[in-house]
Amino acid sequence: MSTPLLEIRDLRAGIAGNEILKGVSLTIRAGEIHAIMGPNGSGKSTLANVLMGNPTYEVTGGDILLKGERINDLSPDERARLGLFLAFQYPVPVPGVTLVNFLRQALNAVRGQEVPVREFRELLFEKMDLLKMDRDFARRYVNDGFSGGEKKRAEMLQMAVLQPTVAVLDETDSGLDIDALRTVAEAVNRIMNPEMGLLLITHYQRLLNYIRPHFVHVLIDGRIVRSGGPELAEELEARGYEALEAELAASGN
């Protein structure tokens, strides 16, 4: 069997001495889409930040392996160069910096060398056509005055241009109406390929109506308490997290 693209082994992490992740283990292989679901405060966004190396969080145990290489001690930019990508829940505006310049600098940083202008433009236009985006969009300042849907589409364009090995989408559906959600989900489906792994972090099942995961994991109180297929997301939508939490409490887990 091939080496997993991303392997999380008994990961423990927290902030300011408060342990939030309490032993998370997960394996993602090429071509797989995994979804992490859980109630507010369960540790979902902490997991995304820890995977990307946010220095605010402290890893107190376990390992993160990307393509078989332990990355616990690597900086966020080093992780990005290895092929890890994070789409933020709340992308921030960068006034004065156009999206095209931002994307070119990001690609240069990930590749570790200057990408020729012509090569970059061809790649950018190819990905914008793939995502059915107007090319004028790339001339706007990054997330400045963007709607929620436009911010998430800009994130998807960045993912398409950087072509990561593993992409982590932290509540990409947050703040989107149904039309924007469908547009962003379609973009994710176009970008996903058999050599890539995808980790979707979401609170609601609605995103998974458009991006069909192979595996669904439920994170509660910093632990994955249940894993299954897409039907698990539908069960959660029908029953809610409180019913599962009550079952866990009754069983002593």
What is the pTM (predicted TM-score) of this model?
A: 0.94
pLDDT in the model for residue 159: 96
Query: Which of 202, 193, 197, 194 is CA-nearest to residue 130?
Result: 193
**DSSP one-letter string for 179-214:** HHHHHHHHHHHHH--TT-EEEEEESSSGGGGTS--S
- Within the chain, residue ranges assigned H as helices are 44-52, 76-82, 99-111, 117-130, 148-162, 178-191, 230-239, 241-251
C-beta atoms surrounding 63 within 10 Å: 14
pLDDT tens digits along 117-127: 999 999 999 99
pLDDT tens digits along 39-89: 989 999 999 999 999 999 999 999 999 999 999 999 999 999 999 999 988
Phi, psi (5° rounding) for residue 58?
Answer: -110, 125
Parts of the chain with a pLDDT under 50? none
Q: What are the structural domain ranges in the chain?
A: 31-54+82-251
> Which option is the CATH number for 31-54+82-251: 2.40.10.10, 3.40.50.720, 3.40.50.300, 3.40.50.2300?
3.40.50.300
